[in-house]
Amino acid sequence: MKENRLRKWWKRERTTCLKAVILACLPVIACLVYCAAKGQSIGQIYLPASERNDELIYYKQVEAILQYGYPQGYFGFNESHALKLSFAAWSPVLVLPWVLWGLAFGWNLLSPVLCNIFLLTAAMLLFGLLAKPDWKQIGILTFLFFLYMPFSWYMLCGMPEIGCISMLIVFYGLAAAYLRRGRAVLLAAMFGLAGLLTLMRPYLLLFLFLPAYFWTVRSGAAQRARRLELKGWKRLLHGIAAGRRGILGSAAIIAAVLGIYGWVNHFLAAEYLEPLFYMDWLTAFFEKGLPGGLRNFFGSLYYSGMQFLGHMRQGAVSGLAAGAIFCCYIFLFLLLLYQWFCDFAVLRRDRKRGQDCGELSGQLALEGHLAFAFLGMLGAQLLMYNFFDGCKHLLTFLAVGIFVVSRMRTVYLKKAILTGAVFAYFFFYRGAGFEAYEPDFAEPAITAEMELWNEAAGRELALTGDERPNYDNVVIWVLSDEVQGGTAYTGWQYLYSLPAGFGISCCTSDYCMEQFGNLKSRYICVVPGGPIEAKCITMGYGKIVGNERAALYSRQGRKE
């Protein structure tokens, strides 16, 4: 009986499975081609060669979680630490996929890359099985996937963004399946994924509104309301009223997710060097009242908007990273809006003719919601993030936008070709300023130096203390220092050599100079030849290992 059922399923779905396998091959092919073009292989990716210092913090936290459950020394900034346990400023939920990978396959310097490739491969496979794209959509998706270089960059680095992107791809696969089948389990899965994504990155709360819309407007009560003899907006409003269970249920879910995020952020996140979100535009309403708050809000929006346009102009001319990302983002946002208006006009026409509009109505919801998410994130970029860091967050939205573009109604593929041309211009033809996003490969000089640091750290550093976490298991990473010739940055890459469980506190040179006699951490990594190293020598700190870029000292040898 089961065998017959399986045979029938395979006969019915074998083409879908073939398409899903084709999509699943895209991430692997993209990585292999990228590395081959650089004359390297995936196995040559080497995190200590990278200039992305966030990777160090993510990697060492995961290493500590896998070996001890949580870091045994504090991760923080200027020796801050979380109220509970010992994680850094970002939600530890963000590295959950890597933790699961490490539990299954172990953890080393190549593990984040292999896990990223696996996550995107699995997401593409699931999207193919859930969304069931046709061959034209497969072709568009393949075309855009290879032109959108951040897919390859993020897979081949130690950043966890591919985890968010992969979950959002599955999220849209679930949305397509729900529109086709209307099963409650698919809606529940969408809520679950969007909730988990919010705990990873708070701005991904925007994606909770899509399942909320489905539950509200596409619930059984709302469906029955649609069959009433109502027209236009009356039909929609009546449907929303009939879906009040969806409104209340969605509101409860969103409130619960926000509550959990608030708890995680309050107890498990260390204070950062600067605010992660700028909230001046909001606090102005409490400090200056409604008129003053509105003036501040629109003033901030105008000032940031002009800066945003300036970056776009610069990106269009020179291809510099922030401006290039902004240009791609605005282009895709406008494309989503344009397609939504076109599809809405077609939907109204077909309804007047009495035609079945179920498929078009669903596509309209996906386009409209993603345009709404783009607009919401644009507002957050203008009001809450600085442009240098904030532009990176937009890449996640661009990545999932490709999957909605591939499903747009098209005859001559104009939208896909235009989108591909924009990506090709900024990521290939221009490409200036994207060095910070590109993967880094092993070099003999770097690997040889890392071996020396690994040997010294393994010999001299060991976790101590009965109560953990504690500051005896923390290394201060002095961000930079003034040396002859100007500012020099510490070679933080050598801190990959720290034994598992050690914490890292990224500190400014001003903090270290002012608090030197009161520093709590047992170890400090400094710029050689700088004033802070001079203080270490004067105070009798013992030198463990060093080179021309970094020197690691311990207070253990300090003269009393």
pLDDT of 80 = 94
Q: Residue 3: which pLDDT band, with cuts at 50, 70 and 90?
A: low
Tokens 């046709």 sit on residue: 134
DSSP 8-state assignment for residue 544: E
**At residue 328, does pLDDT exceed 70?**
yes
* Predicted pLDDT at 92: 92
CA–CA distance, 87 with 75 (Å, rounded to integer): 5
Residues contacting 360, CB < 8 A, separation 6+: 343, 346, 347, 350, 409
Quick one: three-class SS letters along 385-436? CCHHHHHHHHHHHHHHHHHHHCCCCCCCCHHHHHHHHHHHHHHHHHCCCCHH
pTM surpassing 0.85?
A: yes
Q: What 3-state class would DSSP assign to 477?
A: strand
Interatomic CA distance for residues 253 and 192, integer angstroms: 10
Q: What share of the chain is helix, strand, coil (3-state, %, to 5)?
A: 70, 5, 25
Query: What confidence score (pLDDT) does residue 239 get?
Result: 57
Predicted confidence (pLDDT) at residue 435 exceeds the cutoff of 90: no
Residue 48 C-alpha from the chain's centroid: 21
**Between helices 96-105 and 161-181, what is the axis angle to 10°?**
100
Residue 546 DSSP SS3: strand
**Rounded Cα gap, residues 324 and 395, in angstroms:** 11
Spatial separation of the C-alpha atoms in residues 357 and 354, rounded to whole Å: 9
Q: Decide if 408 contacts 342 (C-beta within 8 A).
A: no
Contact 516, 494 (CB under 8 A): no
Which DSSP state fits 438? S
* Confidence band for 554, pLDDT divided at 50, 70 and 90: very high
Q: Determine the 3-state secondary structure of 196 from DSSP.
A: helix
Mean local confidence (pLDDT), 13-35? 94
Residue-wise pLDDT for 409-425, tens only, equals 776 788 999 999 999 99
User: pLDDT of 440-468, one tens digit each?
Assistant: 999 999 999 999 999 999 999 999 988 99
By the 10 Å C-beta count (0-12 exposed, 13-18 middle, 19+ buried), 177 is classed as buried
Q: Among 282, 409, 276, which Cα is nearest to 335's?
A: 409
The number of C-alpha atoms within 13 Å of 138 and in the hemisphere containing its C-beta is 19
Burial 424-441 (b: 16+ CB within 10 A, else e): ebbbeebbebbeebbbbb
- CB 523 within 8 Å of CB 553: yes
Range of lowest pLDDT (58-67, 239-248, 281-290, 496-505): 239-248
- Work out the angle between the directed axes of helices 135-147 and 2-37 (0-180°, nearest 10): 30
CA–centroid distance for 486 within its chain: 34
**The pLDDT value given to residue 143:** 95
pLDDT digits (tens, 9 = 90+) for 161-187: 999 999 999 999 999 999 988 888 999
* pLDDT score of 392: 87
Amino acid at residue number 348: R
Report the C-alpha gap between 388 and 381 in whole angstroms: 10
Distance CA 228, CA 239 (A): 10
According to DSSP, residue 548 is labeled S
* DSSP-derived 3-state class of residue 511: helix
Three-class DSSP category at 468: coil
Report which of 173, 131, 27, 77 is spatially closest to residue 35, judged by C-alpha positions. Answer: 27
* Residue 221 clears pLDDT 50, i.e. is over it: no
* 259-297 as b/e: b if 16+ CB within 10 A: eebeebbeebbbeeeeeeebeebeebeeeeeeeebeebb
Give the pLDDT band (50/70/90) at residue 236: low
Higher pLDDT, 502 or 91: 502
Residue 222 banded pLDDT, cuts 50, 70, 90: very low
Strand partners, 474: 503
Choice between 531 and 12, residue whose per-residue pLDDT is larger: 531
Q: Report angle CA 162, 370, 147 to the nearest 5 degrees.
A: 50
Cβ-based burial of 83 (10 A; exposed 0-12, middle 13-18, buried ≥19): exposed
Going by pLDDT thresholds of 50, 70 and 90, the confidence category of residue 115 is very high
CA atoms of 395 and 380, how far apart (whole Å): 14
- Which is more confident, 265 or 224? 265
N-to-C CA span, the chain: 81
% of the chain exceeding 90 in pLDDT? 66
For strand 523-526 and strand 551-554, is the pairing parallel, antiparallel, or unpaired?
A: antiparallel
Task: Supply the pLDDT for residue 485.
Answer: 75
Distance CA 474, CA 522 (A): 6
- Verify cis geometry, omega within 30 degrees of 0, for the bond prior to 469: yes
For residue 210, the one-letter residue type is L
Work out the pLDDT band at 31, boundaries 50, 70, 90: very high
Q: What is the DSSP letter of 504?
A: E
Contact between 372 and 386 under an 8 Å Cβ cutoff? The reply is no
- pLDDT over 80 (residue 491): yes
pLDDT band at residue 523 under the 50/70/90 scheme: very high
Q: What is the pLDDT of residues 334-375, one digit of tens each?
A: 999 999 998 888 888 877 777 766 677 888 899 999 999 999
Let me know: does 73 contact 88? Beta carbons within 8 Å: no
Closest C-alpha to 196, from 257, 154, 242, 249: 257
- What is the chain's mean pLDDT, rounded? 89
Q: Which range among 75-84, 312-321, 528-537 shows the weakest confidence by mean pLDDT?
A: 312-321
What pLDDT does 277 receive? 73
